[in-house]
Structure 1
Amino acid sequence: MPWEPLATSWAGGSSSVAVVETNNLVRRFGGEEILKGVDLRVGEGEIFGLIGPSGAGKSTLLRTLTGYLSPSEGEVEVLLGLPPVAFGPKEKRRVGYMPQGFVLYDQLSVRQNLNFVAGLYGLRFGGRRRRVRETLEFVELWEHRRKAAGDVSGGMQRRLQLAAAIVHEPELLFVDEPTANLDPILRRRFWEEFRSLREGGRTLFVTTQYVGEAELCDRVGLLVDGKIVAAGTPRSSGARPSAARR
């Protein structure tokens, strides 16, 4: 379904403090430009939704914002001016990242996977056990904690990925297409969890192909062919994609 234009102003974020900011961000692979001068700003304490079709560059942008890729040109600042490629262990603990695919260990149990990730972030044993349980309860996986991760459903694996991204209680969470190919009930559950995280003081940057999910964000940006072509609040007139009402 065709897009209606979004409001082009970046004003109106939930906070005047920017925790993510890019200036003319370019990322190339070989001779191909995937990100083409991306300018964006995400305010502290908001859910920012990046919406766009497959192949628009959403995953490349997230990997650049989290420091897995370096910009070819331009600037990226995360958490009050820090370039993510220069993050040390202390800064990395302030950020969570849920990639699009399942990257945990099939042969380990749900709890073992999360305990392993918590250890990588430096959580000590006593506090780690408590935090692992709290996180599994939050994503409704505690009763499945002894099951091998490879034996649970795709939806449960996705929730385990979310648990791994938040077990260390990051301030800023990047989530790459968390609801792709999930049924409406599971999609709704994810967004309930995202809103709960925001209410707890976290900032979320969520990518999605589902334009209807724009309504669930505080602000949205539309990425097409590596460019942010529009941005605004989904509840403002003229800022709403036509399919968001579906």
Structure 2
Amino acid sequence: MEQMQLALAATGIYKRFLVKKTSQITQAVAGVSMEVPAGSLTALVGPDGAGKTTLLRMFAGLIKPDDGHLQVLDVNVVTDPQRVQDRISYMPQRFGLYEDLSVQENLDLYADLHGVPQEVRGQRYRRLLEMTDLIRFTQRPAGKLSGGMKQKLGLACTLVRSPELLLLDEPTVGVDPLSRRELWEIIGQLIDEEQLTVVITTAYLDEAERCARIHVLEEGKLLAEGPPDEIRQHARGLCFVATPTQGQPSRVLQAQLLDDSRNIIDAVPQSGAVRFIRHPHARQQDIDALLSGIEAIPVEARLEDGFMVLLREQYQMTPPDTLPFERSAPSAPTSEENRQSDEKIIEVRDLVRKFGDFIAVDHVSFSVQRGEIFGLLGPNGAGKTTTFRMLCGLLPATSGFLRVTGVDLRHARAPARRRIGYVAQKFALYGDLTVQENLEFFGGAYSLSGERLRKRIQTVTRLFDLAGREQSPSGVLPGGFRQRLAMAVGLLHEPEILFLDEPTSGIDPLRRREFWRRITALSEMGTTIIITTHFMEEAEYCDRIVIQDNGRLVAMGTPYEIRGQAGGKDATLTMEEAFIRIVARERERDKSAERALSL
């Protein structure tokens, strides 16, 4: 029998880091052993802080293991990292494009850095530009590209030389579903046509389903490994779908199920229903009592289901506190009042934002009721972030009407900003300050002081599970904890509206569940939530959503109505499928209109 050729072999590797400010040792990787066959597609998945990025950086020869043996392309990467780096390509999470340089100039720069001969550049460039659909944009500055196009350019720059091994660290984070699909088509093409070996980390478990082999990491250790079907096996026979009674948001049934952690392992909204995993030892009468007469239909296990079961076996997942904070503002309605209120807390009419001759937002109109969870969706470059920033008072509108919390934002942005909380897409706190110092600094910026500030810090520290990390520098926290700290800071002053700009980008499924439990509870207390996200499954948590493309509003309604607008008479249509259908249909209409004008 012919021996399998390996691109990578790791045996018992360890990596520890010293956190200078606390003088503590962090075990990032603990005794991991794994093999990657040549020509294969392999995924590393796991919660935040599981050690995925540290492993990739060791594979790339950028950091050395403290113990163990690591062979990459038959080279000992510890003793000869340069020989490995000359034969591989590595795309980190924050790939360094030069935003003032054009697409072509970025390609030329990386070709120079990698010593790519002039005679092979032309053919390589053509292939990469065709694969990434950037051939029409070679003279556009990288800073003027959408998020999805930037990721595709980053991948093209990574591949200016033809590597034997490609390492990708969450390449689709912050990328819309259409661009995500295109990136995966490029990766598949490279594997098929160039027999390239690819190791990828991802927070999207549906992406990992595409891989031949998956390695599940937790706290630096290898929890499980195997083909996707082997990981799915952990949840086989335990997965069901239940559709709530008409008019009830699926997130309400989801919260009801998650409250019973003895019988339910996981529950998520899906296509207007709730998909849940029951505990293997749960009694049927207990499940029936939880569902209150709603029928549970068995479904096939997915990779994400197996992943969640594995994590549940590792440690008990308890739901976060039901109520995120003690509301003291007298104007805030109770949950019952909130459901009966039609008060418009945000009103937008014919909103326009131009950058020179470019129209980023084109006569957009909608309103948001108090206590709603309202989603702003759209492809990269669609105008949703610009709309979002105008709603926050961070960017003035060119024209139109915009009222937030009863204040005309075109003329009085400062008063409105005092009544809102904001969590940025990228971690925007001070990395050198500790968790406690960040909370104290921003509390002071919100005019909180003395006993009031101390109590608010105690409350958000408890509710966002930050106890024990108060003296940790925020810049070294794992992604999930950084997100919790950003949320805690945004809620210190008990705002009426909380703006969340892609808050779960790059966060694993477990942390996303925790995040949405808190958001649902905030909404129940009367806080209005405005959120942008590229996880289309998260749109199911929203009361209503709008989809923007090319600056225009192309769809608006409840998740059920959006699926209907996409032509989704099939009850199993997902929000991602609905989103792609709607955007693709609008783009085809635009192309038809352009063709008609050119005749």
Deviation per CA, 1:113-147: give whole Å up to 9, x if none: 01111110111211101101111221211221110
Distance 2:475 2:496 in 1: 29
Question: Amino acid of the residue matched to residue 351 of structure 2?
Answer: L
Distance 2:366 2:498 in 1: 16
* CA distance 1:34–1:245, shift in 2 (3 Å): closer
Distance 2:433 2:425 in 1: 20
* Contact preservation (8 Å) 1:123, 1:168: yes
The match for 2:547 among 222, 232, 235 is 222
- Mapped pair 1:24 → 2:353: no
Query: What SS is found at the alignment partner of 2:440?
Result: helix
- Mapped pair 1:38 → 2:369: no
- CA shift at 1:14, angstroms? 6.9
Question: Amino acid of the residue matched to residue 418 of structure 2?
Answer: R
* Contact preservation (8 Å) 1:64, 1:71: yes
Distance 1:229 1:145 in 2: 44
Partner of 1:154: 479
Distance 2:397 2:541 in 1: 30
* Contact preservation (8 Å) 1:52, 1:224: yes
Q: How many residues were matched structurally?
A: 235
Higher alpha-carbon deviation: 123-132 or 80-89: 80-89
Query: What SS is found at the alignment partner of 1:19?
Result: strand
Question: Amino acid of the residue matched to residue 104 of structure 1?
Answer: L
- CA shift at 1:30, angstroms? 2.1
Distance 2:436 2:369 in 1: 33
How do 1:1-246 residues align onto structure 2 when only pairs under 5 Å count? 15-83=341-409, 86-88=412-414, 91-236=416-561, 238=564, 242-244=573-575
* CA distance 1:128–1:217, shift in 2 (3 Å): same
- CA shift at 1:46, angstroms? 0.8
More relative contact order in 1 or in 2 (CA 8 Å, sep 6+)? 1
Distance 1:225 1:121 in 2: 36
Question: Amino acid of the residue matched to residue 574 of structure 2?
Answer: A
Gaps of 5+ in 1: 3-12
Distance 1:84 1:156 in 2: 35
- CA shift at 1:159, angstroms? 1.6
- CA shift at 1:18, angstroms? 0.8
Query: What SS is found at the alignment partner of 1:196?
Result: helix
Question: Amino acid of the residue matched to residue 444 of structure 2?
Answer: G
* CA distance 1:187–1:130, shift in 2 (3 Å): same
Query: What SS is found at the alignment partner of 1:97?
Result: strand
- CA shift at 1:195, angstroms? 0.6
Partner of 1:8: none
Distance 1:171 1:84 in 2: 19
- CA shift at 1:238, angstroms? 1.1
Query: What SS is found at the alignment partner of 2:493?
Result: coil
Deviation per CA, 1:87-121: give whole Å up to 9, x if none: 345x4331111111111111110111011111101
Question: Amino acid of the residue matched to residue 398 of structure 2?
Answer: S
Post-superposition, which runs of at least 4 consecutive aligned residues in structure 1 deviate over 6 A? none
Question: Amino acid of the residue matched to residue 344 of structure 2?
Answer: A
Question: Amino acid of the residue matched to residue 192 of structure 1?
Answer: R
Question: Amino acid of the residue matched to residue 129 of structure 1?
Answer: R
Partner of 2:111: none
Larger Rg: 2
Query: What SS is found at the alignment partner of 2:403?
Result: strand
Question: Amino acid of the residue matched to residue 53 of structure 1?
Answer: P
* Contact preservation (8 Å) 1:66, 1:84: no
- For the aligned residue pairs, the C-alpha RMSD in angstroms reads 2.1
- CA shift at 1:245, angstroms? 7.3
* CA distance 1:64–1:179, shift in 2 (3 Å): same
Distance 1:33 1:15 in 2: 35
- CA shift at 1:235, angstroms? 3.3
- CA shift at 1:84, angstroms? 6.0
Deviation per CA, 1:205-225: give whole Å up to 9, x if none: 111112111111111111112
